[in-house]
Structure 1
Amino acid sequence: ALIEEHLGPRLIGEEALALEKIWDMMFRLTKPYGSMGLASYAISAIDLALWDLKGKLLGKPVYALLGGPQKERIFCYATGNDVDWYLELGFQAVKLACPYGPADGLWGLEENERLVARTREQVGEQVEVMLDCWMAFDVEYAVRLAERLRPYRLKWLEECLIPEDLEAHWELRRRLPWQTLATGEHWYTPFPFAFACRHRVVDILQPDIAWCGGLTACLKIAHLAEAAGLSVILHGGGNTPYGQHFTYAMPVSPWCEFFIASPPGVPLEEVMPLPGVPVPRDGWLVPSDAPGFGLEIPEEWLVPF
C-alpha cells in the first residue's frame, strides 16, 4: 500500500536515474507517518529497483557503478548453529544465535557460555566465532555475559540491546571498552548510524540494505563509517545480490554475512530464493557481473503484478 498508493504515484514522471533526489523525496514524503520500519522497507524496495534499472540501462553491474570491485572476492561468514555443516562447506568464520537471555538467570548465562566454549573447541583457533544476541539483553546482562565469554575470544558481540535505546549503547561501550561490538540491523535511515559514528558506540555497523533505505542509504552509512574509522558488515549481505554488490565495491566492508536457514546437507544453491544470485564456495563469493544486480527473474513471477 505504501508503494502503490503513496510513494509510487508521486514518483511518476521523475528522472529514474536521479537516485539521490528520489531517495530524498521518499524520505520526506514518509514523514507524516514516520520513515522507520515498514516505510523504510518501501523506500528500500524502490531504491534497489532503481539501482537495478540504472545498471541495466547502462549495461553494467551495480558494483561497477559504485567504482568497481574493491576486492577480488568477498569473505563470507555463516550464521546459524549447525557449525559442523558450515565447516564442511568451507566457512572460516561462524556466528552463533545466543539461545538464552536475562529471564533465564544464572542458568542461562552458564548455558550461553557452554555453547560458545563448545564451539571454540569445535572450530579451533583458526576460525572466527561471533555471537548474535538479537536485541534480547539489557546493559547489565550484556556486560556479565561478555566477561564470561572473554576467554573464548569472540570476534564480536552483536545487537545486545533494543535499537531505540541509543544511550544504552553508549553505556555498554563505556563498560566494555575491550569488546568489539556490532549492531545496526534494526536501525532505519542513516541517522542512527551517524549517532553511532559520532559517539563510537560500536565498532561494526550492520545495516540491512533491504530495510534501512536501500543502497543509497547504505552508501551514506559507508561514508560515515569510513570517516569514523568503523567497519560496515551488512546484515544478511551475502544472501542478496544487493548486499553482494555493495560489499564487493566498498572498502569499508570487509566481510559478508551468509545466513543459513536450511538443514545440514542441503546445497546452498538449492535454497537461494532468487535466481542468478551466487552463493559462497569455501567461504568466498564473487557477485554476478550481469547488468544491474544480475537477477534472473522468471517472467511468470511478474504476471500477478
Structure 2
Amino acid sequence: MKIVSIEAFPIKSEMVGALYKGAGTEGRRPPWTKDAEVAGPMSGYERFKKLRSTWRYDGAVGCLITAEDGTTGFGTTRYDQPVIHLINDHLAPLLVGEDCMAIERLWDMMMRMTTPYGVSGLPSYAVSGIDLALWDLKGKLLDQPAYKLAGGPVRDDLFVYATGNDTDWHMELGFRGTKLACPFGLYHGLDGLAGTEALVARTRELIGPNVELMLDCWMAFDVEFAVRLVDRLKDYNLRWIEDCLLPEYAEAHDELRRRVPAQTLATGEHWYSLPSFGSACARRVADILQPDICWAGGFTGCRKIAQLAEAHGLEVCLHAGANTPYGQHLSVTSPAIRWAEYFVGGAPGVPLEETRVFPGMPVPVNGRVAPSDAPGFGLGLNDDVLAAMRR
C-alpha cells in the first residue's frame, strides 16, 4: 500500500475545550498551571522567570498520512511552522509513493534525509509526527492496535503517576505516585534550596510514606546546586529527581552521577537522537531515561531507546507517556517501561476525561491505565474532529 499524501498542519491550542464543550465541569479552584512559577533555564532573567510562556516558542502540529485506498493515520508533534515546513517541504515529497507498511525503512530514510542539518531537535520532531502517523495507519490497515503490531503487551496495564502541584487532587483521583514541578533553581541560591525542601516536606506529609514522590527540576540546576539539594532531601525518600541539568552538558551529567551515587536520577526529556541515548546508556549517567514519543523519533525511535535501556539494565519512563495513546501503546510493550507519567493540567474537580486531547484515549483510573484495543492508536478521530483541530 503506497503513501499518496503527507500533510502537516497547526493544531488549535484550545483543542481540548473544543472537544468537550458538552461536559464543562466547573473546577473547585484554578489549576496550579494558571500562574505557578516553575524554575527553568531562563530563571536567571527577571523578565522571563515567572512563566515559561513568556519565552518559549511552541505550537502543536498534526500530521495526516493518506494511503492509496483512502485510509489515514494521524500523528502529533510540536514546534509549529518550522516543523510543519520540514514535513511538508522536505520529508513528505520524498516519502510519497513509498510503501506505508515499511515503517523501519521509512524511519531510516528520514534519519538519513535530515542528517545534513542535524537529526536532533526540530528534525526529530518532524520525524516523530510522521512516524506516529505511519503506525496509526498501519494499525488501521491491518485492523490491529499498535501495541499488537509491536509484539503485544508485556503487562496488562500500567502504573501511572501524576505530574503537577495540585497534589491533593492527585490523591483524590487515586494516584499512588506524584511528581512536583520545582519552583526554585540555582538562581534562587539558599532561598531556593530552603524553599524546595519546604515544598517537598509539605508534600510528603500530605501523601504519607506509601505514595511515590518525585521532583521535576526542568533544566534549572547546575551540578553544585543539585548536589546540595539532594543532600537536603535525603530524608524524604524521593523516587527520583529529574531533568536537573541543561541537556547538552554531557560532562556535567557524568559529574552529577559521580557525586550523588545513592540518588536515583532521571533525564532525557530533551534528548532526541538514538546516539544521544546510546551514549547515556553506555556512560550510565541516569537510572531512568525519559524520551518523549512525540519528539524523539516517534514510536519507532522510542522503541529503539527502550531496547537500548533494557540491554543496559536501565529503565524508561516516557515523558507524559500516559497523556497520549502513542505513549500508552508503546509503554505496555516494553519490559524496560514499568511506569507511565500523566501530566494533570486541569483544575481540581474536573474529570480527566474532559481534559484529554483524543476522544478515544483511556485515562488513568486509580493510577492505572491500559491502551485502547481499537485499530491503530484508537484516537477516536473523524473528519469533523480533524477539521475542528486545524487553525
TM-score normalised by the chain length of structure 1: 0.98
CA distance in 1, matches of 2:116, 2:279: 23
2:254 maps to which residue? Answer: 170
CA distance in 1, matches of 2:295, 2:278: 17
2:203 maps to which residue? Answer: 119
CA distance in 2, matches of 1:34, 1:190: 12
2:369 maps to which residue? Answer: 285
CA distance in 2, matches of 1:69, 1:256: 14
The answer to whether 1:42 aligns with 2:126 is: yes
The answer to whether 1:147 aligns with 2:239 is: no
Alignment deviations for residues 73-107 of structure 1 (CA, whole Å, 9 cap, x no partner) = 11100000110000000000000001101111101
1:191 maps to which residue? Answer: 275
What SS class does the counterpart of residue 287 from structure 1 fall into? coil
2:176 maps to which residue? Answer: 92
The answer to whether 1:103 aligns with 2:199 is: no
CA distance in 2, matches of 1:226, 1:262: 34
1:228 maps to which residue? Answer: 312
Following superposition, the deviation at residue 196 of structure 1 comes to 1.0
Which amino acid is 1:13 matched to? G
2:13 maps to which residue? Answer: none
Counting only pairs closer than 5 Å after superposition, residues 265-284 of structure 1 correspond to structure 2 as: 265-284=349-368
The answer to whether 1:81 aligns with 2:165 is: yes
* Unmatched tracts of structure 1, length 5 or more: none
Following superposition, the deviation at residue 62 of structure 1 comes to 0.5
Following superposition, the deviation at residue 263 of structure 1 comes to 1.1
2:88 maps to which residue? Answer: 4
Most deviating of 106-115 and 24-33: 24-33
What SS class does the counterpart of residue 157 from structure 1 fall into? strand
Following superposition, the deviation at residue 301 of structure 1 comes to 3.8
How many corresponding residue pairs? 305
2:109 maps to which residue? Answer: 25
Alignment deviations for residues 151-193 of structure 1 (CA, whole Å, 9 cap, x no partner) = 0010001000000111111110000100000001100121111
CA distance in 1, matches of 2:103, 2:268: 23
Which amino acid is 1:14 matched to? E
- Which of 55, 67, 74 is the matching residue for 2:151? 67
Following superposition, the deviation at residue 52 of structure 1 comes to 0.6
CA distance in 2, matches of 1:36, 1:226: 22
Which amino acid is 1:299 matched to? D
Following superposition, the deviation at residue 255 of structure 1 comes to 0.4
CA distance in 2, matches of 1:225, 1:206: 11
- As a proportion of its length, which structure holds more helix? 1
Alignment deviations for residues 250-269 of structure 1 (CA, whole Å, 9 cap, x no partner) = 11100000001111111000
The answer to whether 1:219 aligns with 2:303 is: yes
CA distance in 2, matches of 1:244, 1:302: 21
Which amino acid is 2:89 matched to? E
CA distance in 2, matches of 1:302, 1:89: 30
Percent identity over paired residues: 61
What SS class does the counterpart of residue 253 from structure 1 fall into? coil
2:216 maps to which residue? Answer: 132
What SS class does the counterpart of residue 358 from structure 2 fall into? coil
CA distance in 2, matches of 1:97, 1:295: 29
Counting only pairs closer than 5 Å after superposition, residues 51-62 of structure 1 correspond to structure 2 as: 51-62=135-146
1:257 maps to which residue? Answer: 341
What do you get for the CA RMSD once the two structures are aligned?
Answer: 1.1
CA distance in 1, matches of 2:287, 2:146: 27
Following superposition, the deviation at residue 277 of structure 1 comes to 0.4
Which amino acid is 2:281 matched to? C
Alignment deviations for residues 43-92 of structure 1 (CA, whole Å, 9 cap, x no partner) = 00000000111111111101111111111111100000110000000000
Following superposition, the deviation at residue 247 of structure 1 comes to 0.7
TM-score normalised by the chain length of structure 2: 0.77
Most deviating of 87-96 and 59-68: 59-68
1:209 maps to which residue? Answer: 293
Following superposition, the deviation at residue 300 of structure 1 comes to 2.2
CA distance in 2, matches of 1:70, 1:3: 33
What SS class does the counterpart of residue 145 from structure 1 fall into? helix
* Unmatched tracts of structure 2, length 5 or more: 1-84
1:180 maps to which residue? Answer: 264
What SS class does the counterpart of residue 117 from structure 2 fall into? coil
Following superposition, the deviation at residue 298 of structure 1 comes to 2.6
Following superposition, the deviation at residue 32 of structure 1 comes to 2.2
